[in-house]
């Protein structure tokens, strides 16, 4: 998603701005740009290429500046083209532009504002919603950038994080946040703005997380924050240490491969503090909350939604309370029936996912105050907004297609099922001991799945010539079939669908021919015999089956049936192991096709727009 970096300093800020953009690059973007204050005027460079190309242009133009803003854009309004790339300029002061602005988010009333501004003479150079904000600020500008931004924000509807500079106010930058993440970074005689603290990792570890409605005035000597009412406020300063080593690829070809192979470590770290099952793993007053609730509502998007679906099987079976799982972007606009005794669980890797945050706020507005998040970023908006939290320890995930964030979410959700079960008297000590043993062994079990990589590469070669694929699973492996299909779509662009195997005969069987590989998750469980019948239905119609089967089942390879044997049957936690093998299948298929695995087309990481 879009990234913002800005700086005011007493030194050349261009290296810091470009480095910041590079740190945000992994999130996916389609264009980038930088605007700086140099010799009494604003200068701008924009590119639809990579940040490295932008940097080359900046060096060619020998730009040097102590005030500047920079941006990576993931287009929402207007094609990914240079004229739509940020920063956007507005106004004229002695023949040069007066205002430069970068924006993350969506301005929903851009049409109305554009008409108004056109009527008073502003000429638009882009199709973006963002340019409207630049002109609005210029229109309101009377020599004080802070006042102009504050007044402009009163007119904006939608979500935004803004960073703005003006040609006649050197060493000043104004930011604003409403619904899109923005942090201020504090340095010695220099200050920064960024959409993510990660962008400032090389510059400062002193971070202020701005709140919705905040407008921030940054100069060399101070950072002043004003809330939505215009009152000056103090916000807590956090010391945030980001490990720059995490961005190294090491021996791997792609970040996605590195992250797949990091899963034993990531899951192990996520379980690090778990000595026994206790509700307090989720926060200080968790046992009171778990006692009070009689149902769970899970809100999430994409891969996190599939983690939620898997958790439904676990929580209902282990804790014996009903669970519903909703796609966040649907739930927030649906006329649902609220119940105050619900535990609302949000799942988000970044903790900044706009749809999930809005769904959470919607649930709270309906009187559901028992909120818990499963999140990978301890300082994120989601963690700040929820009463309870479990922080997964996946580490920074750079590949756009989620891997280690997903399996660590599943690990945390399994713990949640056990903790609720304990409070509801559904977890006898002997069962708890068995589950804890399985959890502790999980990193090793994942490592043995990763050892199957050579067999998966062989399958992936064959998959890469296909245009479609079906993924089948039953019970708690059905969400994993959905996730396997999503992973393949995202990075290989092969059309894939996930189905509960019992649904095959109700429709998708019509698609089965020798051209349609059918991937089947077939662990030894109570549904295995039913699943075998579903596989027969495929085989009888000439379909080609690719089956992940446990070692001790009698599913054997034959014509049109290919089998990879999973190292061990993993009972309730088996979905995690199958998720890993399907990640490898998607990854190697994409490699065989030569796609941009870490930055698949049209997609972005950390989806901070609606």
Regarding 1 and contact with ligand HGA (CB under 6 A), the answer is: yes
Regarding 478 and contact with ligand HGA (CB under 6 A), the answer is: no
Closest alpha carbon to 515 in 585, 463, 589, 591: 463
Report the C-alpha gap between 598 and 601 in whole angstroms: 10
Q: What residues numbered 218-257 form the site for ligand HGA, per CB under 6 A?
A: none
Regarding 129 and contact with ligand HGA (CB under 6 A), the answer is: yes
Give the H/E segment covering residue 486. helix 478-492
Q: Which stretch binds ligand HGA (CB under 6 A): 124-132, 341-349, 448-456, 562-570?
A: 124-132
- Complex with ligand HGA: residue 104 or 373, whichever CB lies closer: 104
Regarding 176 and contact with ligand HGA (CB under 6 A), the answer is: no
| Site string (59-98) toward ligand HGA, x via CB under 6 A | --------------xxxxxx--------------------
Q: Which stretch binds ligand HGA (CB under 6 A): 101-109, 221-229, 278-286, 412-420?
A: 101-109
Closest alpha carbon to 513 in 472, 468, 543: 543
The three-state secondary structure class of 100 is: strand
**Structure tokens belonging to residue 121:** 């003479």
- Complex with ligand HGA: residue 90 or 411, whichever CB lies closer: 90
Regarding 134 and contact with ligand HGA (CB under 6 A), the answer is: no
- Complex with ligand HGA: residue 112 or 551, whichever CB lies closer: 112
Least Å distance, CB 402 to ligand HGA, is 18
Phi/psi at 396 (5° precision): -60, 130
Spatial neighbors of 69 by CB under 8 A, at least 6 apart, are 4, 5, 6, 17, 34, 35, 36, 87, 100, 101, 102, 163, 164, 165, 173, 193
Per DSSP, 180 falls in state: S
Could you confirm whether 591 is annotated as catalytic? no
Residue from 2, 210, 223, 456 in contact with ligand HGA (CB under 6 A): 2
Regarding 101 and contact with ligand HGA (CB under 6 A), the answer is: no
User: Which listed residue (2, 153, 386, 591) is catalytic?
Assistant: 2
Characterize 293-318 residue by residue with b for buried, 16 or more Cβ atoms within 10 angstroms of its Cβ, and e for exposed.
beebbbbbbbbbbbbbbbbbbbbeeb
Residue from 106, 198, 347, 372 in contact with ligand HGA (CB under 6 A): 106
- Complex with ligand HGA: residue 88 or 474, whichever CB lies closer: 88
Regarding 109 and contact with ligand HGA (CB under 6 A), the answer is: no
Give the H/E segment covering residue 566. strand 561-566
Positive or negative, the Cα torsion across 33, 37, 38, 43?
Answer: positive
**Structure tokens belonging to residue 275:** 């000595």
Report the C-alpha gap between 135 and 138 in whole angstroms: 5
Could you confirm whether 605 is annotated as catalytic? yes
Q: Count CB-CB contacts under 10 A for residue 453.
A: 17
| Site string (580-609) toward ligand HGA, x via CB under 6 A | ----------------------------xx
Least Å distance, CB 174 to ligand HGA, is 18
Regarding 105 and contact with ligand HGA (CB under 6 A), the answer is: yes
Residues that bind ligand HGA (CB under 6 A): 1-2, 73-78, 103-106, 128-130, 608-609
Active site residues: 2, 605
């Amino acid at each position: 998603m879009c990234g913002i970096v800005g700086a005011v300093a007493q030194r050349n800020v261009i290296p810091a701005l470009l480095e910041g953009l590079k740190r945000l690059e992994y999130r996916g973007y389609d264009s980038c740009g930088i605007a700086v204050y140099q010799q009494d005027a604003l200068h701008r460079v924009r590119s639809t290429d990579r940040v490295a190309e932008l940097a080359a242009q900046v060096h060619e133009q020998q730009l040097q500046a102590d005030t500047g803003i920079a941006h990576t854009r993931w287009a929402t309004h207007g094609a990914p083209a240079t004229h739509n790339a940020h920063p956007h300029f507005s106004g004229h002061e002695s023949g040069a532009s007066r205002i430069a602005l970068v924006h993350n988010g969506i301005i929903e009333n851009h049409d109305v504002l554009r008409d108004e501004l056109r009527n008073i003479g502003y000429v638009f150079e882009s199709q973006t919603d963002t340019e409207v904000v630049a002109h609005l600020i210029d229109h309101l500008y009377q020599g004080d950038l802070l006042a102009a931004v504050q007044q402009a924000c009163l007119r904006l509807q939608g979500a935004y994080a803004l960073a703005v500079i003006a040609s006649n106010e050197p060493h000043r930058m104004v930011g604003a946040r409403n619904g899109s993440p923005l942090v201020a970074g504090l340095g010695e005689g220099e200050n920064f703005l960024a959409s993510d603290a990660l962008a400032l990792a090389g510059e400062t570890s002193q971070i202020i997380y701005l709140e919705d409605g905040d407008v921030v005035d940054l100069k060399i000597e101070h950072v002043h924050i004003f809330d939505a009412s215009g009152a000056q406020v103090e916000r807590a300063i956090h010391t945030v240490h980001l490990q720059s080593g995490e961005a190294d690829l090491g021996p791997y070809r792609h970040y996605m491969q590195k992250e797949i192979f990091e899963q034993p470590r990531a899951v192990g770290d996520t379980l690090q503090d778990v000595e026994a099952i206790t509700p307090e793993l989720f926060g200080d007053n968790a046992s009171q909350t778990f006692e009070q609730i009689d149902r769970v509502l899970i809100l999430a998007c994409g891969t996190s939604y599939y983690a939620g679906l898997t958790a439904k099987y676990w929580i209902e079976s282990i804790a014996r309370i009903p669970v519903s799982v909703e796609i966040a972007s649907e739930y927030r606009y649906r006329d649902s029936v609220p119940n105050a005794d619900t535990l609302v669980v949000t799942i988000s890797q970044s903790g900044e996912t706009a749809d999930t945050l809005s769904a959470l706020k919607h649930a709270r507005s309906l009187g559901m105050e028992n909120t818990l998040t499963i999140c990978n970023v301890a300082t994120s908006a989601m963690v700040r907004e929820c009463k309870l939290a479990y922080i997964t320890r996946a580490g920074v995930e750079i590949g756009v297609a989620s891997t280690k964030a997903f399996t660590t979410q599943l690990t945390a959700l399994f713990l949640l099922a056990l903790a609720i079960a304990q409070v509801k008297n559904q977890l006898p000590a002997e069962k708890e001991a068995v589950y804890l043993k399985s959890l502790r062994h999980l990193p090793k079990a994942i490592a043995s799945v990763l050892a199957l990589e050579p067999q998966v590469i062989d399958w992936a070669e064959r998959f890469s010539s296909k245009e479609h694929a079906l993924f089948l699973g039953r019970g708690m492996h059905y969400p994993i079939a959905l996730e396997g299909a999503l992973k393949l779509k995202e990075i290989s662009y092969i059309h894939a669908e996930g189905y509960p195997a019992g649904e095959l005969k109700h429709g998708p069987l019509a698609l089965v021919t020798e051209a349609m590989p059918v991937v089947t998750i077939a662990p030894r469980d109570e549904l295995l015999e039913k699943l075998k019948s579903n596989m027969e239905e495929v085989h009888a119609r000439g379909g080609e089956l690719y089956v992940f089967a446990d070692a001790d089942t009698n599913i054997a390879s034959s014509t049109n049936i290919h089998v990879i044997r999973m190292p061990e049957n993993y009972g309730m936690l088996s979905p995690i192991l199958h998720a890993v093998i399907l990640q490898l299948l998607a990854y190697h298929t994409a490699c065989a096709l030569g796609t941009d695995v870490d930055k698949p087309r049209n997609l972005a990481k950390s989806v901070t727009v609606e």
